[in-house]
Amino acid sequence: MHIAIVGNIGAGKTTLTELLAKHLSYEAQFEAVENNPYLEDFYSDMKRWSFNLQIYFLNSRFQQILELQTENRNIIQDRTIYEDAYIFAENLHDMGLMTSRDYENYRAIFDNITSFIKPPDLLIYLKASVPTLVNNIQRRGREYEAGIRLDYLSKLNEKYKKWIDSYTQGKLLILDKDKLDFANKPEDLGFVINSIEREINGLF
């Protein structure tokens, strides 16, 4: 079983991945943030490092998926390969932070890669407003995230809505993070777990 958690920066993907892995006895796979050689440079100069960063994420997630598909394991994945293209790279291009040449090159690589992989069995989208995202980003205090612009987060939310509204590759569960505090409220975590089990078991 492959469950993937998607959402904007600061939506709570890593926290939910950790909690679900513990409660469902699944293996957690996290986004390559701590050892990413481009992330800090990207936040200080997005236009210069956008293509490099997206290629790094694309390759990293492709490696994760290949491992997942060759082994029969129950996985909860923090962020997906699809977000790289439909959300982040597309948004960088729209904002003039990635050239058309780099974006077209990136999308061609993405299209080739995704022709070899399967989508997750369940996609969980953490929907969150910009104030909720900013609050979470400030609370966790990652230095390289301190300069993230509000318009950047807002545009990413628009991209997520567009992608999620058209998502047809598999089962989809949307959770409103503005109304859920699964990190601190057991009843909210219980609601999330019950919702996931209903989706997995086909109970509607």
> Which residues are annotated as catalytic?
78
The CA–CA distances, whole Å, from 78 to 81, 89, 120, 196 equal: 10, 18, 12, 15
Alpha helices in 30-167 (DSSP H): 39-44, 46-70, 81-83, 90-94, 100-114, 130-140, 150-165
The DSSP H or E segment spanning 198 is helix 186-201
* Dist. CA 16–CA 196, nearest whole Å: 12
**Beta partners for 2?**
75
Q: Dihedral of CA 21/4/32/135: which sign? A: negative
* Dist. CA 67–CA 77, nearest whole Å: 12
- Strand 75-78 and strand 27-29: the pairing is parallel
